[in-house]
Amino acid sequence: MTSARTRARLVERLRAQGISNEQVLAVIAQVPRHEFIDEALSHKAYDDTSLPIGFGQTISQPYIVARMTELAVAVPERKNVLEIGTGCGYQTTVLSKLFKTVHTIERIGGLVRNTRERLSRLGIHNARLRHADGSQGLPELAPFDVILITAAAPIVPENLISQLSNGGRLIFPVGSQEQELRMIERRGEDFLESRLEKVNFVPLLSGIS
Ligand code: SAH
């Protein structure tokens, strides 16, 4: 179930869906997704689907993790990335292999505890996890080369664009019923917005629990 062959099959499926960055595909092939979900579901770990992780939340579908990561790595520098919505830490782990430092924020305390322990078990030492409402970003550590949001805001989170470095990218799902993946790229004082594809994320909520 966790064999090299199963992971290779996932990578082939991602390729067929248009993921072409070899570095991203190599990281997806390397990260043990079964470590991020409950054992009872581990037979589905390398299927291209989202799965429940408790607390009413989900681990993202590998395709969308690969897609967002591909957009993230195309920045001029990879010093730091801010992830909003850590969940089980799968996307965090993928980013940790491609950026020098990952800052990640999760609002649910139970997930923060589990994920902190998991990241340490997996030997991920360049990810800093905080228990907070991430919707205001992390102004004290800005600017970021990438800000990646893994929960859907009802409106475009324009408050975060001032935390991007020049050439930096804000990658986020937006919408309530119908959601869309979008990207805002900073070019000096200009901000270029692209609308990418239909997606389906859990909502970005305020406050902590
Ligand atoms: N990145 C995860 C996906 C997590 S699902 C993965 O790799 O699979 C989205 C997560 O965002 C949930 O755990 C949810 O609790 C969290 N979240 C929602 N609103 C948030 C907020 N305002 N601040 C921080 N985390 C938030």
What is the per-residue pLDDT across 47-99, written as a single tens digit (0 to 9) for each? 999 999 999 999 999 999 999 999 999 999 999 999 999 999 999 999 999 99
Cα–Cα dist 105/156, whole Å: 19
pTM (two decimals) = 0.97
Q: Which atom of ligand 1 is nearest to the CA of 86?
A: 1
In a domain, 9, yes or no: no
Q: One of 50, 60, 135, 165 is an active-site residue; which one?
A: 60
In a domain, 113, yes or no: yes
> How many structural domains compose the chain?
1
The residue segments making up the domain with residue 186 are: 63-199
- Kindly give the distance from the C-alpha atom of residue 88 to the centroid of ligand 1, in angstroms, as a whole number: 9
In a domain, 102, yes or no: yes
Q: What is the CATH number of the domain that holds 113?
A: 3.40.50.150
In a domain, 49, yes or no: no
Q: Which atom of ligand 1 is nearest to the CA of 50?
A: 8
Residue 2 clears pLDDT 70, i.e. is over it: no
Write the pLDDT tens digit of every residue in 128-149: 999 999 999 999 999 999 999 9
Q: Is 60 a catalytic residue?
A: yes
Measuring from each residue's beta carbon to the nearest atom of ligand 1, which residues come in under 6 Å?
57-60, 84-88, 90-91, 105-108, 111, 133-135, 150-151, 202, 204-206
Average pLDDT along the chain: 96
Residue 27 clears pLDDT 70, i.e. is over it: yes
In a domain, 42, yes or no: no
